[in-house]
Amino acid sequence: MTSACAPATQPPVAPSAEPTRTYQVRTYGCQMNVHDSERLAGLLDAAGYRRAPDGTDADIVVFNTCAVRENADNKLYGNLSHLVPRKQRDPNMQIAVGGCLAQKDREAVLTRAPWVDVVFGTHNIGSLPTLLERARHNRVAQVEIAEALEEFPSALPAARESAYAAWVSISVGCNNTCTFCIVPALRGKEVDRRPGDILAEVESLVSQGVLEVTLLGQNVNAYGVSFADPETPRDRGAFAALLRACGRVDGLERVRFTSPHPAEFTDDVIEAMAQTPNVCPALHMPLQSGSDRILKAMRRSYRADRYLGIIDRVREAMPHAAITTDIIVGFPGETEADFEATLEVVRRARFVSAYTFQYSKRPGTPAADLPDQLSKAVVQERYERLIALQEEISLQQNTAQLGNTVELLVAAGEGRKDTATARMSGRARDGRLVHFVPGGAGVRPGDVVKTVVTAAAPHHLIADGALLEHRRTRAGDAHETGQRPRTVGLGLPGLGVPAPAPAAAGCAR
């Protein structure tokens, strides 16, 4: 661990002789970062701070960073520079930088942005309240980067963003060595939570009205390789068993998971998905490349035939499953033949959608030093061909949904044009985004509706007919009143000042 002073081991002391200080958390990157930000918000709430209302200046701004995307550092430092005038007007205002970029760059953050007050890493997010108070008291920036996980993030309190859907982390870290990925270096080796702790968190969320949970892991289906409890042996069937156990949680209507790895994807998981009614018929299965030669250079321990075999078995067990993927275009050394192999897998797999990326060097990864880096023009041209093919397939897949009845969990903020079109948006059980006409039914985010698909586009469906059903839910009640679920650490003492007791009426916040 690197630190400007002794490790943060004492609980923070909440401000008491002055107005409550406010905070804002800005998140970049993957779902894991989004969930970590919920933990950061929960920690700050527990330490006596208050979330700043939207559109207002906060006393504390926390950046939860990503190191995966190209130019991630330029984006961060650009946003940090925008806060300099605010910091000059109010020296008591604090800025904290955490997450993957902070773990990677460490003290370099202060070199480039000396007005930052706190730098913390991916392994010690629980230290944030203490570091903020220490920096404020000592008037000296605090840098604390742990080299290994200090406590599982899910042992920390969380202030959830949604009243109806929640992330549940089942593991952190990754044991793979993909040459394009820096995550293992920043998140460490895989550590899995005990099944009982995961289910306790799920049950707590459901008791507060949550209808959908997404199980999170860098390599989610490798779950069982390394339990946090060292006395628990590896269990290769642990992920399938966890899916089935979630199916027994009363009131949990939807279970999703992301992201699995093809090398670890086994038939018992397919069986659990098909046989567990609340596990959604949706699968995000990263491909990255359809060329066996490039997959080997990426250190992806599967080949195209194995990948397509998994897709075939999933569709055999769940004919209506919606399958999505990740693809990287222009990996070093990729030839036209390699790229054509990727296009062929896309044609055969017929993904509902694909997250497509142009390869870019990520400092610290083996691929950044490989020869035969491709020109921007070549990568761009291939990328556009891939996009065109996938858009065509996506439209065909979505057009096949015309006339189908879909059950939607109504969402907030999914449709940018909803106000202009008088539509709302929701997610079907297979994950497709559907824009629908609510009519005069008083539909709220968190409610469940059924409707019929009337039109299709590559990235969404439209349902402009009358609703067939509308079920008001506790999640809808909570969203309407601005309440959000909260979870606290399991089996560990709380951090900081306890959150206030919930009001007598309504869900706990």
Annotated ligand binding at 507? The verdict is no
* Sign of the Cα pseudo-torsion (421, 427, 429, 430, in order): positive
Annotated binding-site residue? 66: yes
d(C-alpha 35, C-alpha 37), whole Å? 5
181 is in an annotated binding site: yes
Distance CA 62, CA 60 (A): 6
CB 427 within 8 A of CB 434: yes
CB 210, CB 165: distance < 8 Å? yes
Q: Counting every residue, how long is the chain?
A: 509
CA distance 495 to 485: 18
The tokens describing 121, both together, are 């890493």
- Name 382's Cβ contacts closer than 8 Å, sequence gap at least 6: 329, 330, 334, 339
Q: Distance between CA atoms of 57 and 445, rounded to whole angstroms?
A: 27
5 marked as part of a ligand binding site? no
Burial of 53 (0-12, 13-18, 19+ CB in 10 A): exposed
Residue 187: CB partners within 8 Å, gap ≥ 6? 32, 100, 122, 172, 173, 174, 218
* Among the listed residues 27, 55, 56, 20, the one whose alpha carbon sits nearest the alpha carbon of residue 41: 27
- Alpha carbon separation from 473 to 71, 156, 432, 446, 468 (Å, rounded): 42, 28, 21, 7, 16
Q: Which residues are annotated as a binding site for [4Fe-4S] cluster?
A: 30, 66, 100, 174, 178, 181
- Binding-site positions read 30, 66, 100, 174, 178, 181
